[in-house]
């Protein structure tokens, strides 16, 4: 199986992902996207000494990436389904796998971060922005929706998690101050 051919096909004709009968190779290449993307994230984190070494450590990151993307795909699909936009949740999950190839950009970014030319947070945000942009584009191919709705459906879960995270952070901060005084 030539992943480059499949990637080429998806880049040239993203609608192939929504085809009635998608070949198994297409699915495998999507899953390979998660693996390679995670390897990129893991390498970036290792370069910053943010995660311990070892296969188990990598598998943990992979598990989080897969679980997180499954949740994001589910929420996006649910949003689409509730707004009468029909599509396949499984293909959305695979499409997200294709966008995860962009996380490989984190590896060269990790070098720039170590050299002090880039901030780690900025690199991550930049990479995430690219991935989100690619996801919005692929969502539009998988569901018959406008660009705005695709952006909303992809952004809603991120915004939700961000809000929850902020809430937990503020609560934690208040709890800490209260403990101190």
Establish if 178 lies at the interface with other proteins (CB under 8 A). yes
Terminal alpha carbon distance of the chain: 63
Nearest to 17 by CA among 167, 138, 146, 175: 138
Contacts of 51 (CB under 8 A, 6+ apart): 42, 45, 57, 61
Q: Are 73 and 89 in contact (CB under 8 A)?
A: yes
Contacts with other proteins in 113-172 (CB under 8 A)?
114
What does the alpha-carbon distance between residue 152 and residue 169 come to, in Å, rounded to a whole number?
Answer: 25
Q: Tell whether residue 11 is a contact of other proteins (CB under 8 A).
A: yes
Among 99, 104, 123, 153, binds other proteins (CB under 8 A): 104
Q: Is 38 in the site for other proteins (CB under 8 A)?
A: no
Nearer to other proteins, 3 or 161 (CB): 3
- Determine, following the binding rule CB under 8 A, whether residue 16 of this chain makes contact with other proteins: no
Select the residue interacting with other proteins from 1, 8, 146, 167 (CB under 8 A): 8
* Contact pick of 22, 39, 60, 126 for other proteins (by CB under 8 A): 39
Residues lying near other proteins in the complex (CB under 8 A) are found at: 4-5, 7-8, 11-12, 36, 39, 43, 46-47, 49, 53, 104, 107-108, 110-111, 114, 175, 178-179
């Amino acid at each position: 199986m030539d992943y480059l051919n499949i990637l080429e096909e998806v880049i040239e004709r993203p609608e192939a992902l929504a085809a009635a009968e998608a070949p198994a190779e297409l699915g495998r290449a999507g899953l390979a996207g998660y693996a390679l993307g995670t390897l990129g994230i893991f390498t970036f984190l290792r370069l910053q000494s943010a995660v311990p070494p070892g296969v188990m450590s990598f598998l943990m990151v992979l598990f989080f990436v897969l679980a997180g993307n499954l949740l994001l795909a589910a929420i996006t699909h649910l949003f689409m389904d509730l707004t009468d936009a029909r599509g396949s949740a499984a293909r959305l999950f695979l499409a997200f796998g294709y966008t995860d190839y962009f996380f490989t950009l984190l590896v060269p970014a990790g070098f720039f971060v170590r050299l002090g030319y880039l901030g780690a947070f900025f690199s991550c945000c930049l990479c995430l922005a690219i991935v989100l942009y690619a996801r919005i584009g692929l969502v539009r191919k998988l569901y018959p929706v406008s660009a705005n709705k695709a952006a909303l459906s992809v952004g809603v879960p991120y915004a939700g998690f961000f809000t929850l995270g902020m809430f937990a952070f503020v609560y934690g901060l208040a709890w800490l101050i209260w403990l101190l005084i």
